[in-house]
A and B are shown apart, each in its own frame.
Chain A
Amino acid sequence: MSPSPKLQSTETSIPNPMASPTTTPAASAAPKAKMLAEHVNFFYGSFQALHDINIEFRENQVTALIGPSGCGKSTFLRNLNRINETLRGTRLEGKILLDGADIMAEDVTTIRRRVGMVFQRPNPFPKSIFENIIYGPKINGMVKGNAAEIVEASLRRAALWDEVKDKLHESAYALSGGQQQRLCIARGLAVNPDVLLLDEPCSALDPIATAKIEDLLFTLKEQCTIVIVTHSMQQAARVADQTGFFLLGKLIEFDKTDVIFKNPAKRETEDYITGRFG
């Protein structure tokens, strides 16, 4: 199914960040690519939602994916941990590599353990805070009498420990929306993922809760590779090292965040950044 590499750049105007040295920021000091997408096409039934996406996510960096509603940025993100597979009638073409290995060839539960995901709305399980955090380590067989340590470490990493340490055994639903979202981040971190995907994690949160999550991303990127889909261009500008702009299922431009916001190469990017549509 994977298209021949020779076909690429000629038929579309999508820049290929791997092939083009001009879009590779700080070439000498560039961290290595943790995840790569090569010629990814994606279909809901007969509708093609993604067209020949090529992008790389570098280790210990935050990459933001921006674009108007329905542009395919979330759909793309959901392919990185193969969660789209759970929807009926979907089909993926092309390759997605994690540390050089094709994720479609690996065991799906292993991939999802290594590529964590935080969703648009906080989705804690109807269990206690403690049980929410330990759920992932438990089902992955990572708990060896150290459940309490795992829970504390994960909550600390998500900057939630101090707020919940006295009510670990209360229902997760007793927390505020922002706390619930950080709980979901902690739950994802508890299984030590290599990559953390965030699908508009702040869209249901107020500005203060949003600021806390953004702060968190700066510390988290030292431990894992982060990909965040966001509606907010300001958020992308604040948190991301790299930014990709999606439009109508295509990756229009992908570059350092500075370049995307100050000196975009493509007309569509500039129009979107300056608010002419979207």
Chain B
Amino acid sequence: MTARNIRRTVVNNVMLSLTGVFAFLTVTILVLILGYLVYNGVTSLNLAFFTKLPLGPGQAGGGIANAIVGSVMVVAFASLFGIPIGFLSGVYLAEFGAGTKFAYVVRYTADLLNGVPSIVIGIFAWTVVVKPMHHYSALAGSIALSLMLIPITARSTEQFLLEVPRAMREGALALGASKWKSIATVIVPAARKGILTGMILGVARISGESAPLLFTALGNQYWCRGLMDQTSTLPVMIYKLATSPYDDWHQQAWAAGLILLGLVLIANITARVFLTRGASAPKS
């Protein structure tokens, strides 16, 4: 072997090992987080934790049922606003706005919005929703979260639509489909899997946000009485439990974290199972 060949082999092996090591590191971190959560949280998990309202420090029993329901409600309404708006914006960006100045501005704004710290989104929602209404509410929380969901959904929808081969668009148009019809009946269905996955990841992402909810949904000791009432949510509940001075609350914080992670995981897995059924387009 020449010196050059040896050098090549060495560099090749070093780089290969490095990537492997870091890939392993990534997985390890995830497993550590999961393991730590389970280890600390699982002892506090029982039926009451899922079905009862929180009790004071030192009192045995009690749960975070209001936070689970509150989180589901806030995220569901955020999706109700955020997903349609984000999806249709994404369709516009990919299919109608290509090359226009307006689309450029929309895309750029979406990217900026994506990068806005979530605490700032919270302050903004407080200013435009909470302040005029003179009270904190689940609705304000949903609006804050939907502001985060819109750009995520828009940009991922756009990306997956752009991946649909041009040949497929032309195939539909060549049969006499109008542009809108071809989008609705061929292009969006062809990109369906990716679009839905993007939406689910977006929803998973906002499910874990606490900062936008601190100034909007605030929190609630009791059951939330509707959209206009302030509500407890899992992330904010975790924050409150974890920053309290009580040991049994700390335990509960771990358990609540485990539940939040579990909910997100279930949503993810259900979606994936659902998505892998049926015909899909080949990548070309």
> CB within 8 Å of B: which residues of A?
81, 83, 86, 88, 109-110, 112-113, 116-117, 119, 121, 123-128, 135-136, 139-140, 171-173, 184, 187-188, 191
Contacts and interface: CB of A to CB of B under 8 A. Distances in A.
Nearest to A112: B176
20 contacts: A86-B170, A109-B176, A109-B178, A112-B173, A112-B174, A113-B176, A116-B175, A119-B171, A119-B174, A123-B165, A123-B167, A123-B170, A125-B172, A125-B189, A126-B281, A127-B189, A135-B172, A135-B186, A139-B185, A187-B171
A58 B186 CA distance: 33
Contacts of A139: 175-177, 181, 185
Contact of B168 (A88, A123, A171, A191): A123
Nearest to A172: B279
Contacts of A188: 174-175
Residue in B165, B169, B174, B279 whose Cβ sees the most chain A Cβ within 10 Å = B174
Nearest to B193: A126
Given A88-B98, A123-B167, A123-B171, A136 B279 contact: no
Contact of B170 (A88, A113, A119, A124): A119
Residue in A123, A172, A187, A191 whose Cβ sees the most chain B Cβ within 10 Å = A123
Nearest to B182: A139
A136 B98 contact: no
A42 B175 CA distance: 23
B279 A126 contact: yes
Contacts of B189: 125-127
Interface of B: 98-99, 165, 167-178, 181, 185-186, 189-190, 279-282, 284
Contacts of B165: 123
Given A121-B167, A126-B280, A173-B279, 11 more contacts: A86-B173, A109-B178, A113-B175, A117-B170, A119-B167, A125-B172, A126-B281, A136-B175, A171-B279, A172-B279, A188-B175
Contacts of B167: 119, 121, 123
Contacts of A116: 174-175
Contacts of B186: 125, 135
A81 B169 CA distance: 14
A150 to B, nearest CB: 13
B176 to A, nearest CB: 3
A110 B279 contact: no
Contacts of A121: 167, 284
What 7 pairs across the A-B complex have the smallest Cβ distances?
Answer: A113-B176, A171-B279, A136-B175, A126-B281, A123-B167, A117-B174, A123-B171
Contacts of A110: 176
A125 B186 CA distance: 7
Contacts of B170: 83, 86, 117, 119, 123
B175 A86 contact: no
Given A119-B170, A123-B165, A126-B279, A191 B190 contact: no
Nearest to B168: A123
A86 B186 CA distance: 16
B264 to A, nearest CB: 29
B185 A136 contact: no
Contact of B176 (A124, A126, A136, A172): A136
Residue in B168, B169, B177 whose Cβ sees the most chain A Cβ within 10 Å = B177
B279 A127 contact: yes
B174 A125 contact: no
Contacts of A83: 170, 173-174
Given A121-B167, A125-B168, A125-B171, A88 B99 contact: yes
Contacts of B176: 109-110, 112-113, 136, 139-140, 191
A179 B176 CA distance: 23
A112 B175 contact: yes
B27 to A, nearest CB: 33
A160 to B, nearest CB: 17
Residue in B176, B186, B189, B281 whose Cβ sees the most chain A Cβ within 10 Å = B176
A250 to B, nearest CB: 25
Given A109-B176, A109-B178, A125 B190 contact: yes
Contact of B282 (A117, A140, A173): A173
A121 B171 CA distance: 11
Nearest to B190: A126
Contacts of A127: 189, 279
A58 B134 CA distance: 76
Nearest to B191: A126
A134 B190 CA distance: 17
Contacts of A117: 170, 174
